[in-house]
């Protein structure tokens, strides 16, 4: 159990050379140094079983980098940037609205979100205008539900604006 | 943190996701936004049939 904990802890940190060589779980599927990524939304699949090198996800418990042979886990996502490092070494970034990431034992990673867009599809002015409005509602005299709704929006938009800068 | 505020307000996780997704759609550039906002609104109605007669259509609470 102790070694499992240590491995999990190590994998949570940003990747280092030392654990690239480590085998923790299944060795079977796909090329052993790649992770098979599916990035899907209800209306579209951006990645569908594509082999990539590394995926960084904004989990509720903290940002984590997922490489091949990661310990299986289920992570709830915060609104934030999913970063995908592809085989050619290029990086792709998507801002997701929140959802779940499931790391399966055979180096498969499924990231499910309601909305995911590349950063160039956002308008920072629109985000800022919305943020100002939501902040006003959040600190206003509205009903508890309205305030809670505005607080969620503030959190999402602050994260988005930080990513766009 | 965030989790406590939406849970405290009695929101379901689905409701929370829906609000977060809506905020993202509204922040998109014009062209992408118009396409995306079409999938935002969702409505469900149900009707109960009794003794072969249709009852009043009801909105499913969000």
**Structure ipTM:** 0.74
Measured at the CA of A165, the angle between CA A147 and CA A136, to 5 degrees, comes to 20
Residues A96 and A15 in one domain: yes
In chain A, how many domains are there? 2
**Cβ–Cβ under 8 Å, residues B28 and A122:** yes
Count how many pairs of residues, chain A against chain B, have C-beta atoms within 8 Å.
84
**Cβ–Cβ under 8 Å, residues A103 and A72:** yes
- CATH number assigned to the domain comprising residue A136: 1.20.5
Among chain A residues, the shortest Cα distance to B25 is held by: A115
Residues A83 and A110 in one domain: yes
Q: What is the reported pLDDT for A1? A: 44
Sequence spans of domains, chain B: 2-59
Residues A58 and A44 in one domain: yes
Q: What percent of chain A has pLDDT over 90?
A: 60
- CATH number assigned to the domain comprising residue A81: 2.60.15.10
Domain coverage including residue A78: 2-117
Q: What is the reported pLDDT for A140? A: 87
Residues A16 and A75 in one domain: yes
Distance CA A75, CA A72 (A): 10
Distance CA B6, CA B14 (A): 11
Number of C-alpha atoms within 13 angstroms, CB side, residue A24?
24
Q: Which residue has the higher pLDDT, B42 or A20?
A: B42
A152 vs B16, B25, B26: nearest CB: B16
Distance of CA A164 to the CA centre of its chain: 16
Architecture of domain B2-59: Orthogonal Bundle (1.10)
CB-based contacts of B57: which residues, under 8 Å, 6+ apart? B45, B46, B47
Say whether A117 and B32 touch across the interface (CB within 8 A): yes
DSSP per-residue codes, A96-120: E-SEEEEEETTTEEEEEES-EE-GG
Residues A150 and A91 in one domain: no
The band of A106, judged by pLDDT with boundaries at 50, 70 and 90, is confident
Which ranges of chain B would DSSP assign to H, the alpha helix? Answer: 2-8, 13-26, 30-37
Say whether A147 and B9 touch across the interface (CB within 8 A): yes
Residues A112 and A39 in one domain: yes
Residues A6 and A30 in one domain: yes
Q: Which residues of chain B have pLDDT under 50?
A: 1-2
Residues A132 and A108 in one domain: no
pLDDT tens per residue, range A32-69? 788 999 999 988 999 998 999 999 999 988 999 999 88
Distance CA A146, CA A126 (A): 21
A130 vs B3, B17, B26: nearest CB: B26
């Amino acid at each position: 159990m102790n070694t499992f904990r240590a491995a999990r802890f190590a994998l949570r940190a940003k990747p280092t050379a030392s654990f690239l060589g480590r085998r923790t779980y299944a060795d079977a599927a796909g090329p052993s140094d790649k992770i098979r990524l599916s990035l899907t939304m209800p209306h579209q699949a951006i990645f569908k079983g594509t082999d990539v090198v590394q995926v960084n996800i904004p989990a509720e418990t903290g940002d984590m980098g997922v490489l091949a042979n990661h310990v299986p886990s289920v992570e709830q996502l915060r609104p934030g940037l999913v970063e995908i490092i592809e085989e050619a070494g290029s990086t792709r970034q998507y801002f997701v609205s929140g959802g779940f990431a499931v790391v399966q034992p055979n180096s498969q990673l499924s990231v499910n979100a309601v909305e995911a867009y590349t950063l160039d599809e956002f308008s920072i002015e629109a985000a800022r205008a919305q943020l100002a409005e939501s902040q006003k509602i959040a600190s206003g005299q509205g009903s508890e539900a309205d305030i809670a709704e505005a607080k969620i929006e503030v959190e999402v938009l602050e994260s988005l604006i930080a990513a766009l800068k | 943190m965030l989790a406590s505020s939406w849970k405290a307000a009695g929101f379901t996780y689905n409701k929370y996701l829906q609000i977060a997704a809506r905020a993202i759609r509204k922040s998109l550039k014009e062209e992408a936004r118009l396409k995306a906002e079409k999938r935002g609104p969702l409505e469900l109605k149900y009707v109960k049939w009794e003794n072969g007669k249709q009852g009043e259509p009801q909105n499913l609470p969000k």
